[in-house]
């Protein structure tokens, strides 16, 4: 853990924070009030948990992006998962349990007798399927590139000799979502703070289309407080110099080409399709699903289930929160009808959701700041 301590050093944080202040001063002279989108839900949570907003210059705003896999999963997927749980033992990441579907959540289905198990690692589902060959076992495979790699490894492990194992997939890709955001006129983003672990898979080169002339600074940062502060410093420095390039602050993990082995494994088992994002809509080629020849591992074809869009709750503004158009307190349901105990939208459920982060960790800010 000494390794981690280095990225939490208070003295080093103070040094970066003072640099941020002077860079923000320069930007102020040019009339720039930078809006930075942290794309990834883990960043959203780390920013909130470490009180990062508190140390930023007041003119710098951080906007949470669509990088929380639970948050962008359609209510119809939950409906399909509940249906699967009536026919099989279902393994899911714990965050999914309380996400409202069109009517029920997996937690209420479990209380009514559905066989739903939260797990930390997808391999728990594989172990269960091996130990219970007579029992159909379904893993709810949701996530971005970071999760897609182990999901492809699951497929490789199950391909031969595990006929009772299948997956209900809702796997999504980060770059197509960024492309959709930058082409949306309602969205105003000056720079991207790019994900850490997703980038380890896809590589820093994947952000090239969003940088360059007419583009935005794209800085990849780790999840430790100093990583994030330094990543923001790199963004402010680029903006102050009128630059927009891909910068890799997380070079200790992320390579330009990414993890080629994982990429090959993914493309062996998965193919792109036009995926629906909760609150955002269909984005071309933004999802991955199992290739046709692996249909036996696909819970949809195996059980004749179809993931429909489902019915999103009325009044919920998760879509606008996910696009960075709205901060969570701007939603009329926030902290009223929608709380972590009684979530209406997925952003309030997930441990990486912007609304949950805002609710749980927000600083009690002086009036006029952060709200």
Residues forming the site for another protein (CB under 8 A): 1, 4, 8-10, 13-14, 17, 42, 48-55, 94, 97-98, 118-121, 124, 225-226, 229, 340-341, 351, 359-364
Quote the least distance from Cβ 281 to another protein, whole Å.
Answer: 29
Of 89, 297, 61, the residue nearest 193 (C-alpha): 61
Q: Is the Cβ of residue 56 or residue 82 nearer to another protein in the bound state?
A: 56
- β-partners of residue 258 are none
Cα 184 → chain centroid: 19
Q: Is the Cβ of residue 130 or residue 291 nearer to another protein in the bound state?
A: 130
Of 130, 97, 72, 137, the residue nearest 303 (C-alpha): 137
- Write the CB contacts of 239 (distance below 8 Å, at least 6 apart in sequence): 27, 32, 34, 190, 191, 217
Quote the least distance from Cβ 23 to another protein, whole Å.
Answer: 17
In angstroms, the CA 301 to CA 306 distance is 8
**Three-point CA angle 105, 154, 114, nearest 5°:** 25
Q: Is the Cβ of residue 112 or residue 260 nearer to another protein in the bound state?
A: 112
Q: Is the Cβ of residue 47 or residue 155 nearer to another protein in the bound state?
A: 47
DSSP strand E in the chain: where? 35-40, 61-67, 89-93, 116-119, 137-143, 165-172, 191-194, 218-220, 246-248, 270-277, 281-290
Quote the least distance from Cβ 183 to another protein, whole Å.
Answer: 32
Quote the least distance from Cβ 8 to another protein, whole Å.
Answer: 4
Q: Is the Cβ of residue 107 or residue 239 nearer to another protein in the bound state?
A: 107
Quote the least distance from Cβ 352 to another protein, whole Å.
Answer: 9
DSSP 3-state of 244: coil
Quote the least distance from Cβ 282 to another protein, whole Å.
Answer: 30
Q: Is the Cβ of residue 107 or residue 270 nearer to another protein in the bound state?
A: 107
């Amino acid at each position: 853990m000494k390794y981690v301590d280095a990225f939490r050093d208070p003295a080093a944080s103070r040094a970066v924070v003072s640099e941020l202040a002077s860079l923000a001063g320069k930007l102020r002279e040019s009339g720039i009030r930078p809006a930075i989108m942290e794309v990834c839900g883990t960043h959203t949570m780390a920013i909130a948990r470490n009180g990062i907003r508190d140390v930023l210059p007041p003119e710098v705003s951080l906007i949470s992006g669509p990088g929380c896999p639970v948050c962008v999963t359609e209510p119809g997927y939950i409906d399909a998962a509940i249906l699967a749980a009536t026919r099989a033992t279902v393994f899911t990441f714990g965050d999914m349990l309380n996400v409202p579907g069109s009517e029920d959540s997996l937690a209420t289905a479990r209380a009514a007798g559905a066989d739903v198990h939260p797990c930390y690692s997808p391999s728990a589902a594989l172990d269960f399927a091996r130990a219970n060959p007579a029992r159909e076992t379904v893993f709810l495979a949701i996530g971005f590139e970071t999760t897609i790699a182990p999901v492809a490894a699951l497929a490789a492990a199950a391909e031969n000799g595990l006929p009772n194992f299948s997956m209900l997939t809702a796997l999504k890709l980060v770059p197509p979502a960024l492309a959709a955001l930058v082409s949306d006129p309602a969205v105003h983003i000056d720079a991207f703070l790019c994900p850490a672990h997703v980038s380890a898979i896809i590589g820093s080169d994947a952000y090239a289309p969003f940088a360059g002339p007419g583009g935005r600074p794209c800085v990849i940062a780790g999840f430790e407080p100093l990583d994030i502060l330094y990543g923001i410093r790199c963004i402010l420095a680029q903006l102050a110099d009128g630059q927009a390039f891909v910068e890799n602050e997380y070079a200790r993990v992320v390579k330009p080409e990414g993890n080629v082995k994982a990429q090959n494994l993914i493309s062996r088992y998965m193919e792109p399709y036009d995926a629906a994002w909760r609150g955002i809509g269909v984005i071309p080629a933004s999802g991955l699903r199992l290739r046709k020849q692996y249909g036996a591992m696909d819970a949809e074809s195996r059980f004749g289930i179809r993931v429909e869009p489902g019915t999103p709750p009325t009044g919920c503004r998760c879509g606008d929160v996910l696009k960075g158009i709205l901060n969570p307190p701007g939603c009329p349901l926030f902290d009223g009808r929608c709380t972590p105990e009684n979530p209406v939208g997925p952003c309030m459920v997930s441990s990486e959701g912007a609304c949950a982060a805002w609710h749980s960790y927000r600083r009690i800010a002086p009036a006029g700041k952060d709200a």
